[in-house]
Structures are given as C-alpha cells and as structure tokens.
Structure 1
Amino acid sequence: MKAATTVAAGTLEYQERPIPTPTAGTALVRVEHVTLCGTDLHIWQGEYLNPFPIVQGHEVVGRVEQVADSDTSDTSDASGASIACGDTVVLSPVRSCGACYACRVGRPNVCERVSVLGCYEDGALAQYILAPVETLRKVPPGLPSELAPLGEPASIAMQAVRRSRAHAGELALVIGCGPIGLISTLYLRELGVDVVAADTLPERAETAKEFGAVEAIVVDPAAAFPTGPQISALTATDSTRPVTVVIEATGSPSAFAAALDVAAPTGRVVAVGISDRDARLPLRTIPLKELDILGSRNSLDLIGDGLRLIARHQERFARLITHRFGFHQIERAFDVMHTQAEHVRKVLVTVDGPGR
C-alpha cells in the first residue's frame, strides 16, 4: 500500500508499505476519506509536538476489509455492535493507557499518556489502517461516507457543550465560527439553547446563522468586545437575559479574556480552542463572578453520538466541506488551507477513489 508520510515540515513522501495483518482484537480498514483540520495544518507546518516522519490524518472513514478471527478475539465495538467485513466505520483516533489517574476516574480523553492517530503516531492518510475493533464506530445507514469523518470533530464539539452543562432556555455565546464552533452552535440549538456566535471574519460569522445561531457578531479585534447585555439584546427576546454559557473555540488569548468578561455571574466558560500563547486577565473576575472555567479535550467516546448528529443534519454538515482533493493532492490541500484560511472549513481527501 501507499502511505502519505510527512517526513519533515512541509515535505510529503508517498511511501510503499506492507498492508498490515490483523491480530487479535483488530481489524484492517481500507481508508475511503479523511478530513483535515487546523491541527493537521499545524503538524504540516512543523508547529506541533508530533514526531517526524508521521502519517497524518485522524478524521477518517473506511470499509472493514478483514477482522481478526472471532474465535480468539472480540469483534464488537465499545457499544457492543458487531463489526464485520464490509462495514463502513469511523475510527476513534484517541489511544489511552487505562492506568493513569484520568483513565481510572473515567476520563481517558485526557489520559496522561494520551496519543492520537495522525498527531503523535501514524494515522489515516494511507490506503489501509489497522485499528482495534473497540475503536471503530459503524456509520448509520443512509449517511454518506463523505460526511462520516466529521463524526470526530462533531464529538469534540459535543464534548465541549456537555462540559458546559447547557440546558434549554439558556443564552450562550460561541466565540469562533470554524467547524467546532459551528457544530457546537448546532448542538446547543438541539438542546434548546439560544446562541449568539462571534467571529472576526464576516463570512464565517454569517455561516453560524445557518447552524442555528440567533444572531452573529463580527468582532473587530481592535475594538472592545460586546458586553453581556449587548449580546443579550441581539436575541430579540429578553435583553436582560444573562449569557450563562460561553464556548471559546478559537484558542485566542484575547477571546478567552472576552469570554470571562461576557459571562454572567455563576456562568460557565468552556475553553476548547488550544493555543500555546499566554492569556493575561485580572484574577478578580473569576472569584467575584464565581465562574466555572472548564477545559475540553477530545471526547468521552462521543463519535457515535457525533455520527447520529450528522445523520439528523446532513445538509448542514455538507456545508462544512468546502474543498476536495485526491490522495495525490495532499500537498495542494495543505497549501489551500494555509493561503485561503478564511474560505476553508473542512478539506476532504478521498483516499480510495479515482486516481488512487
């Protein structure tokens, strides 16, 4: 098989590798599609903590080609569903140790030794991938395989929303209208939460309305962020309703500081955007408002839930895929992600298709 290997920052080689052989508890999956996200671009540009060389790709769908002998291993996924040859599946990319404190208390998504396929070890930009059966999630009937890789980012957005403890009738602010922010907006609306979305780019902010946002704010980075009452007024319902949930999906230090300012007393702020930059903020804000500041990383096995969310909103998720490339156009895909960032939501790479 061929594997698209990032051998150094900005350098890709299509390497010949043997097709893996399933062992007990694993399945061989023929990769169909991979979607790329901002993390993939950072890896490509040498701005991540990954090793080189590495096969990138952690948002993946494929077809099961071979499952290890069921007489010697379990052939069911984590939900108990049987996995068989021919099944279309999404792979959970998170690998946890099972022994550290986080794993022992049921939070393997933040395992002390967590690894993620395509980020810290070889991933899915290859014609085949071997995976533990328990990490596979069946794609619901009727869901196009092109949309299925979005089950992974959907799970991340759903994790952030669940961390917020949002409930019907609340008012939420989502900062950042990239895929995670948009999916968070959609899921919050399903829960009966009114959402105002914010982004610095008008095109991205307006897209949030298509995902259920009551209103969208175009933020001027040089100006003060709208206040909580101003955001409440945009809902055209109750201008005094407090902003009790904020999802910060950019990783921008200034956006995080704004989230703390906007959140009402007793509100919850969830940071799902990741950055190495330092945030500066007055420490008095958190105790005086008694805010809950919550981090969110990966998901607690929510890819199946993410796939069902996509199945309910296929037209909206289809809008997330803005660019498509073949397996031998991956370098071009990364170039577009870098040079046309304001127009890119999700990039779809077709691994198993014409030009394979």
Structure 2
Amino acid sequence: MLRAHTVSRRSIEFREEDVPHLTPGHALVRVHHVALCGTDLHIWDDDYPSELPLVQGHEFVGRIEAIDFGTGDGTAGPEIGTAVAVSPMVYCNECGPCKAGRFNVCESISCLGCYEDGALAEVVRVPVDKLHVLPESMPPRLATLGEPGSIAMQAVNRGTPEAGETALVLGCGPIGLLAILFLSERGVKVIASDLSASRLELARAFGAVATLQAGSGPFPSQEQQQQIDALCPLSGPTLVIEATGVPASFENAVRLAAPTARIVQVGISTHTAALSMRDVPFKELDIRGSRNSLNLIPAALEVLNRHQDLAYQLITHGFELEQLDEAFRTMLDPAQDVGKIVIDMPAGNPA
C-alpha cells in the first residue's frame, strides 16, 4: 500500500509498504478521504511539535476492511464495508484530567497524524472505539468535516450558550463558521467578524445575523459599534468565541465582551496577547479554553448531515494523494481563498 511520509520541512516521500496486521480490538480502515487543516500545514512546514518523519492526516473517513472486536467484547459493532469517520485522539484514561472526564486535555495526549502516523495511507489500523458510523445518506467525502466539526462543537459547548443571547464569533474559517452554525441551531443570535468579505458572506449563510469586516482601521468602527449595540442589550455580546489565534483578536474579545460574559479561546498560536489587568476582573469575565473534543464527532456529523448543501461550501479544493505537495502549497497561497482541502485517496470517489 502507498503511504505519504513528511520526512523534513516541505518534503514528502511516497513509499510502498505492507498493510498493517489486524490485532485484537482494532479495525483496518481503507481510507477514502482526508481533509487538511492549519495544523497539517504547520507539520508540513516543520513548525509544530511533531517529530518527522511522520505520516500526516487526522481528519479522515474510510470503510472497514477487517475488524477484530477483541476478547470478551462480543461481536456487536460496525461490519466490514461500513463507512466510518475516525476519531484521531489518543488518551491514557489514567491521568487526572482523564479520570475527571476531561480526556480531551489528557496529560499524555496524542493524535493520529500529528504525533503518530495517521491517515495519508491507503489502509490504517485504528482501535474499534475510535470508529463512528456515518449517518445514513451522508457522503463520505463530506464526513471529513466531522473532526473539525467536533472541535467547533466543543468550543460552543464550553461557552454554555443560551437561546436568545447574542454571541460574537471572531474568525470565519471552518471552525468559526461551524461554530456559527451550531450556535444558530441553539437559538443564539450570532455576530461574525473576519477580514475577508467572502468569508463573512458565508457566515451569513451559516446563520450569522450580522457581520463585521475587520481591516486596517479601528475595530469596531462607529457604524459597527452601533450594530453591536443594537443586537446586545447587555453592553456587548454575552458569549465570544475567538477562532483565529491572533493575539489582537483575543484582546478584542476581552474588550468587546459584556460584563459577566464567557470568552472561549479555541484559536491557537504561540504568540502572546497583551491584556489590561482591569478588564477581566472589572467585568468579571469567564475565560475558557477549548481543546479537541469530548468525542463529539457523531454529534457534529448529525448536524452536518442535516445541512449538507451548506457544509459542502466549506470544501473549496480537492487533490489526489500524489498531489499532496501541491495541496499544501495551495494552502500557503492567500489568493486561493482556501476553506477545507480534501485529499481523495485512491479508494475514494471525489463526487
């Protein structure tokens, strides 16, 4: 079988290797589609705490080719040929966070395709409990959005949204757009902000009731502040989801949030934000981090399946496995206006 190894910065080697052996408690999955995200780009650019060489790919779907439920587990579960999304997260079940039910921040957390070999291979071996059967009638290619959908849903859940309140989502990449969809489904009025006019147009399609385009001038402008004031009776949004990882955006979140608001930081970067030591205590803000998800892929797939036409708009580019280098270089090109790139594996149908 063919596997793509990122061997050094921006260097990929394709190797013919043996199919993994089936072991108890595991399944062999023939990979059909793999979506790429910003983390993948950083790994390819050797700007991530991964060790190269590495087979990347953590957002993926395929079909079960063989399965062994393991001793004592019986035979109940998905059958050979079933289309599945796969959770890439690996946790220990032994550390403090795991025992507290917060395994998404396991002290020894790992992830297929990020810290150990992942899905840019024709066949992968994965634990049976990582398999999630796709909803009926859901195209496998679309189901690659299940994993990023779970990240967005975790951020929304961390914000404990309440129907009728107004939320501000900063950043309308795939995670921000999916957060808008999930918030809207819960009866939350969403204001969306981004630098890109085209992404803000998508944000309205995903459920935003107002959009604010950030730019080189002061943000928000006087007119934009009037929009915020009209939608926020409590002196600002009561929930803010920061989905860019840009320090200035997090600073805006703290500045614009209403007193007693919740701020969820899901965007990640290594940079440092500068905050006033007054704003957080004076407003008594709740600042909450959000990482990975608490096995939310099935829940995310259910929502995406109900909104297939909308979700498809997130997938802007498709490439075959042998075009992987071109796919990454496309992600680097701002002129391409990349949403999600999907790698259609040899067994997958790009339709």
Normalising by structure 1, what TM-score? 0.94
CA distance in 2, matches of 1:196, 1:106: 32
Post-superposition shift, 1:240? Answer: 5.8
Post-superposition shift, 1:187? Answer: 0.4
Q: Report if aligned partners of 1:32, 1:350 keep a CA contact under 8 Å in 2.
A: yes
- Which residue matches 1:220? 215
1:322 matched to 2:316? The reply is yes
CA distance in 2, matches of 1:225, 1:303: 35
Post-superposition shift, 1:252? Answer: 0.4
Counterpart secondary structure, 1:159: helix
Q: Which runs of 5+ in 1 are unaligned?
A: none
Identity of aligned residues (%): 47
Post-superposition shift, 1:149? Answer: 1.0
Q: Which runs of 5+ in 2 are unaligned?
A: none
Going from structure 1 to structure 2, the CA distance change for 1:40 and 1:346 (only over 3 Å counts) comes to same
- Which residue matches 1:276? 270
CA distance in 2, matches of 1:340, 1:30: 33
- Which residue matches 2:145? 150
Q: Report if aligned partners of 1:160, 1:270 keep a CA contact under 8 Å in 2.
A: yes
Going from structure 1 to structure 2, the CA distance change for 1:75 and 1:336 (only over 3 Å counts) comes to farther
- Which residue matches 2:291? 297
CA distance in 2, matches of 1:187, 1:353: 31
- Which residue matches 2:226? 230
Post-superposition CA distance 1:217-259 (Å, at most 9, x none) = 1101442335895343464xx6666410000000000000000
- Which residue matches 2:32? 32
Post-superposition CA distance 1:150-204 (Å, at most 9, x none) = 0000000000000000110000000000000000000000000000100011111
- Which residue matches 2:252? 258
CA distance in 2, matches of 1:149, 1:278: 32
Q: Report if aligned partners of 1:75, 1:84 keep a CA contact under 8 Å in 2.
A: no
1:74 matched to 2:111? The reply is no
Q: Report if aligned partners of 2:32, 2:61 keep a CA contact under 8 Å in 1.
A: yes
Post-superposition CA distance 1:50-84 (Å, at most 9, x none) = 0000001100000000001x4725367xxxx7121
CA distance in 1, matches of 2:336, 2:290: 25
Q: Report if aligned partners of 2:321, 2:343 keep a CA contact under 8 Å in 1.
A: yes
- Which residue matches 2:161? 166
Post-superposition shift, 1:325? Answer: 0.5
1:124 matched to 2:119? The reply is yes
Q: Report if aligned partners of 1:196, 1:231 keep a CA contact under 8 Å in 2.
A: no
Q: Which amino acid aligns with 1:33?
A: H
Counterpart secondary structure, 1:325: strand
CA distance in 2, matches of 1:270, 1:310: 22
Counterpart secondary structure, 2:79: coil
Going from structure 1 to structure 2, the CA distance change for 1:268 and 1:221 (only over 3 Å counts) comes to farther
| From 312, 329, 334, the counterpart of 1:335 | 329
* Count of paired positions: 349
Post-superposition shift, 1:276? Answer: 0.1
Post-superposition CA distance 1:83-117 (Å, at most 9, x none) = 21011001101000111111010000000110011
CA distance in 2, matches of 1:18, 1:159: 37
Say what the alpha-carbon RMSD is for the aligned residues: 1.9
Q: Which amino acid aligns with 1:181?
A: G
Q: Which amino acid aligns with 1:300?
A: L
Q: Report if aligned partners of 1:325, 1:350 keep a CA contact under 8 Å in 2.
A: yes
Going from structure 1 to structure 2, the CA distance change for 1:226 and 1:267 (only over 3 Å counts) comes to farther
Going from structure 1 to structure 2, the CA distance change for 1:82 and 1:244 (only over 3 Å counts) comes to same
Q: Report if aligned partners of 1:34, 1:350 keep a CA contact under 8 Å in 2.
A: yes
| From 71, 75, 96, the counterpart of 1:101 | 96
Going from structure 1 to structure 2, the CA distance change for 1:353 and 1:46 (only over 3 Å counts) comes to same
Post-superposition shift, 1:207? Answer: 1.3
- Which residue matches 1:202? 197
Q: Report if aligned partners of 1:327, 1:355 keep a CA contact under 8 Å in 2.
A: no
| From 281, 287, 290, the counterpart of 2:281 | 287
CA distance in 2, matches of 1:230, 1:74: 59
